[in-house]
Amino acid sequence: MKLRVFILSLASLLLVVLLGQLNHYLGPWQLHAWCGGLFVAFAALRLDFRTGAAAAFIGGLLLDAGSPVTFGTHALLFLAAHAAIFNVRARAPRDETIVGVIAALLANLGLFLALSFLRVDLGPDSGEAWMRDFADLLVSQLVLALIAPWFFAVQANLLRMSGTHIRDASRGAF
């Protein structure tokens, strides 16, 4: 389990860095891509609960370290999203990539809205603030839909290279 968590955390670190670079170049247009759903979806759909939860929590801490939010905000939100996806995963063909992409998109939507509610000050200009958030959400969902299949493949291949078979890892629910 520890090795799997380590590998998934490495994949999360890669994603944090790549998204950071993308946002660096999107900065001049005042656009921002946030793909929190990607940190959760693969492990929640394909792996056992503990491994997925630990990986989601660590992925959240990686994002928390570089953001001006209370340390643990992303981590606890990711854990909640992981628990929600894990609870409904038996009702969908979870090995399909498209199911993973849809789960990531839905998780991203929920997490984005949760963070927006935490961050947006409901002052007189909150309508404008929500417009900006809506534009960022649109970009985030687009970026996520584009990179999700690649990122799932990276996670699956890293796990395979370390000698972990995803089917065996997901068999035991907890």
Partner 1 sequence: MSAKRFDQAHPFLTLALVFAAWLVVPTAVKRVLRAGFFEMQAPVEASASYIRDLQEFWSLKTRSKNDLIEAGRDLIHLNAAYEVRLQQDADLRAQLERLGRLLNLPAPEGYRAEAARVVRRDFSGWWQQLVIRKGSNYGLTVGAPVIYAGGVVGRIREVHAYTSVVELISSPGVRIAACLEGDTRPISYQGGINPTLSPARGEVEYVPVDVFVSPSAPRRLVTSGLGGVFPGGLTIGSLTNVEPSSDGLFKSGGVQLDADLSDLSEVTVLVPEETPPAAN
Q: Which residues bind partner 1 (CB under 8 A)?
A: 13, 16-17, 20-21, 23-24, 26-32, 34, 49, 53, 57, 61-62, 64-68, 71-72, 75-76, 79-80, 82-84, 86-87, 115-116, 119-121, 125, 128-129, 131-133, 135-136, 173-174
**Closest approach of Cβ 144 to partner 1, in Å?**
15
Per-residue b or e along 150-169, where b marks 16 or more CB atoms closer than 10 Å to that residue's CB: ebbebbbebbeeeebebeeb
**Closest approach of Cβ 83 to partner 1, in Å?**
4
Q: Which is nearer to partner 1, 21 or 162 (CB)?
A: 21
- C-alpha torsion sign, points 88, 93, 94, 98: negative
Q: Which is nearer to partner 1, 124 or 163 (CB)?
A: 124
Q: Which is nearer to partner 1, 94 or 149 (CB)?
A: 94
Q: Report the C-alpha dihedral over residues 93, 95, 99, 105, rounded to 10 degrees.
A: 140
Q: Which is nearer to partner 1, 94 or 116 (CB)?
A: 116
- CB neighbours of 168 closer than 8 A, spacing ≥ 6? none
DSSP 36: T
H helices of the chain, in order, are 2-26, 38-46, 49-65, 73-88, 97-119, 126-161, 166-171
Q: 42: helix, coil or strand?
A: helix
**Closest approach of Cβ 104 to partner 1, in Å?**
18
**Closest approach of Cβ 31 to partner 1, in Å?**
6
Q: In angstroms, rounded to a whole number, what is the distance separating the alpha carbons of residues 80 and 100?
A: 17
**Closest approach of Cβ 82 to partner 1, in Å?**
7
Q: Which is nearer to partner 1, 53 or 147 (CB)?
A: 53
